[in-house]
Amino acid sequence: MINKNLIFLLPILVLLLNQVHVNAVDYVPRNIDIEHLSKNILVGSYIGGRSHLKPMLDVATILIERGHNVTLLTSGKYEPSSEYPGLKQITLGPIVTFKNNKRMNIHKDIDYRGLLQLMELTTAVYKINYEKFKHAAKENNIDLFICDALANEPCIDVANNLNKPVVGFTTYMQIMDPKPYKSDPLMGCNISLENESLFERFRCTLIQPLQIAYVFGPFARRLSDIRDQMNIKSVSGKEPKVSLALIDTFFGFELPQSSAPNVQEIGPVLSEGYPPLTPELSDFINGHKRVLYVAFGTRFYTTIENNNKILQSFVEAINNKIIDGVVWALVETSKDNFSPTLGLTDGTQVQTLPILNNEHPHIHITKFAPQFAVLNHTNTKLFFSHGGAGSTHESLYTGTPMLVLPFGGDQMGNAQKLKKSAGIALLLNKHALDVNDILSKIDFLLNDEHIKKNSKRMKYLARINSNRKYKAADLIEYMLYSSGLDEYLDDDFLKEWIPAESRMGFIKANNLDVYGVLLIIIFTLIGIAFKLIKYITNSSSDGKKSKQE
């Protein structure tokens, strides 16, 4: 039976339900739709290649889905362009190579001096590339440029000289928003100067920049002369001059810093889908519970001696039951880059050719592997990598610890961030590879509780932040719709996110003039105080003398 007390409550409940219904009907829904007017966007990169183009094109895909027309202008032919339906591609010319060889030997030091070849190439083809970017912009009625920030001056210059908004895109924060307390191994210093000695901070803050300016000075002057010859007007402000800087990185991996509103971290930029495992790879990984995945990118190779040490460490790791399987993507390394036999620690000799021909039951050698699918498999426990940005982001996203052998470029800085900031990696020295060192680090990475905890933490961070590519697309659309493009260089355009310090100058922005006035006031008051004290002292002395007389 129904409780009598509940009968008296029924009318009240009916009134409340009616009121909720009325309120729900009366509410006006929030309209978040934006009118997407079709615009023409140019994505440009001189270097090209998957590592430079893929993050930009993943953002461009969102813009294409919103009805915009996107044209890609880069060196060579971007083969995976089939991933991006609706993308129009124009080539700048042959793919960029260094001394007729697209590969780089990891045994050599690759620091800022190693970029001289790149500077020579970009300076030599500046005129040609400038005209190609300009022609493509006019031919396709481009409204906005998305420019790879590395060695891509023609893209940025054309955008600025046509009074079009330009988005700079990079994984390297220091290019777009340098901070005095941060650096990079590429520049000869550690990623953070926070705990460095006074001498090291002095060297990295003053000496290294002067050395770098001395090395690159001739190329900067030559490029300036070329611009003058072509009557290309210079652009005031920071170089490169961009309206918006999109950085493919994220907090937790990148060292935190304060940035202007037009500098946005939008990484890790990852695709919505990736190629699946091949049946052969799937069978191999499913049959092994502790798999080590190995890949060193497409532009680098090492010496025969180092290849032997790496392969030997895999055989011994399997023999010692540290791991039970290895997948090695030998993209740039042929079978000729190994010795015929390997000498193991226990004195036994192992033939390398059967291993490279996949006759070893626990080592799978392949020319290509669908990397994300391999890392995403629950049986893949460790990633032995060069530390490239794309590989790093995929490893963080899947929560896979890393053993990093950095070769050069941004990889050295990424390796330090993976170890110090993320806490999920250990590093190897390319000049001093040692089998026992590799084995001990593999064992540590697989079993340390802090590594496991940090891998889980970074996986959550990477997955949460991976949605920020939609924010990148939103910001680009804001640039397209917020002001008339003909007024791009006017002071009113995008003033809401350009920091005041860029217009105030160094002295005024840091209130150095205010502090200068304060020092003058202090010294003036100190001077007056000294004079007053001197006057009182002299008066007292004169009084004493008068009494004595």
Cα 307 to the center of its chain, rounded Å? 28
Q: What is the pLDDT of residues 491-516, one digit of tens each?
A: 566 777 777 777 777 788 888 889 99
Q: How far apart (Å, rounded) are the C-alpha atoms in residues 50 and 394?
A: 14
What does the pLDDT average to over 246-266?
92
Of 176-185, 235-244, 453-462, 514-523, the poorest mean pLDDT is in: 235-244
Query: For residue 190, which phi and psi values (nearest 5 degrees)?
Result: -75, 165
Which amino acid appears at position 36 of this protein?
H
Q: What is the pLDDT of residues 327-360, one digit of tens each?
A: 999 876 677 789 999 999 999 999 999 999 999 9
- DSSP code per residue over 352-368: HHHHHTT-STTEEEES-
Kindly report whether the global pTM for this prediction surpasses the value 0.75: yes
* Residues in contact with 278: Cβ distance below 8 Å, sequence separation at least 6, in sequence order: 370
Q: How far apart (Å, rounded) are the C-alpha atoms in residues 159 and 144?
A: 8
In this predicted structure, the answer to whether residue 234 has a pLDDT above a threshold of 70 is no
Higher-pLDDT residue of 254 and 333 is 254
CB 226 within 8 A of CB 130: no
Q: How far apart (Å, rounded) are the C-alpha atoms in residues 81 and 64?
A: 13
Q: How far apart are the first and last CA of the chain?
A: 120
CB 441 within 8 A of CB 28: no
Residue 21 Cα distances to 15, 16, 24, 26, 221, angstroms: 10, 9, 5, 9, 72
Q: What is the pLDDT of residues 435-479, one digit of tens each?
A: 999 999 999 999 999 999 999 999 999 999 999 999 999 999 998
Q: How far apart (Å, rounded) are the C-alpha atoms in residues 446 and 401?
A: 8
Q: Which of 254, 82, 246, 288 is nearest to 179 (CA)?
A: 254
Instruction: Mark 116-132 as b/e (b = at least 16 C-beta within 10 Å).
Output: eebbebbbebbeebbeb
CB 455 within 8 A of CB 401: yes
Alpha helix segments (H runs only) across 144-297? 153-161, 173-176, 198-202, 208-229, 279-286
Q: Using only C-alpha atoms, what is the Rg of the chain?
A: 31
In this predicted structure, the answer to whether residue 236 has a pLDDT above a threshold of 50 is no
Q: How far apart (Å, rounded) are the C-alpha atoms in residues 279 and 223?
A: 52
Q: In which region does residue 448 sit, left (phi positive, over 0), alpha (psi from -120 to 50) or beta (all else)?
A: beta
Structure tokens at 351: 């033939």
Q: What is the pLDDT of residues 131-142, one digit of tens each?
A: 999 999 999 999
Number of Cβ atoms within 10 Å of the Cβ of 249: 24
- Residue written as tokens 């020092």? 519
Q: Which domains does the chain have, with CATH numbers?
A: 40-269+475-481 (3.40.50.2000), 279-464 (3.40.50.2000)
Alpha helix segments (H runs only) across 162-297? 173-176, 198-202, 208-229, 279-286
